[in-house]
Amino acid sequence: MVLLLWIPLKEKPGIGTILNAILIAATIEVLLPILPTPEAFSLQIIQVLVGIVLVAIGSGLYLTANLGPGPRDGTMTGLTKVTGIPIGRIRSGIEIFVIAIGWTLGGKFGIGTILFAILIGPCVAICLNMAGRLGKPSDD
């Protein structure tokens, strides 16, 4: 469904689009049973923040490989190209929009979801910038 948004945005899928869905699902299946679930609220927040940073690093690395974005990331990059709005704002806007749709449909969300929605955009923008510089020769 999200891929349909790509048509007016002129985004093109690639092998990365398919691998994104497969690898994310497989990683979640493997890690959920072994990751600890902290009882202390402060540790839960730390775990969420670490997760946000890891998602941002992964996004920065795989998007700069140019093998095709995942559905949500393609929407993010397409909207940035079309509107000129910075990628961080677009990504957070998408996440907040998705929360609103979920809530409208009767879904629930918590502090972790809100933190992710607000922080993932700026974190992805920073990581894309850093990852984009990895393959460039230095001026030294």
CA atoms within 13 A on the CB side of 49: 6
Going from N- to C-terminal start, the domains of the chain cover 42-133
Q: What is the pLDDT along the chain (140 residues), one digit of tens a residue?
A: 778 888 889 899 999 999 998 999 999 999 999 999 999 999 999 999 999 999 999 999 999 999 999 989 999 999 999 999 999 999 999 999 999 999 999 999 999 999 999 999 999 999 999 998 776 655 55
- For residues 14, 15, 17, 19, the Cα torsion angle rounded to the nearest 10 degrees is 180
Per the CB < 8 A criterion, the answer to whether 56 and 124 are in contact is yes
Cα–Cα dist 65/36, whole Å? 31
Smallest Cα–Cα separation from 76: which of 11, 16, 130? Answer: 11
Cα–Cα dist 72/116, whole Å? 14
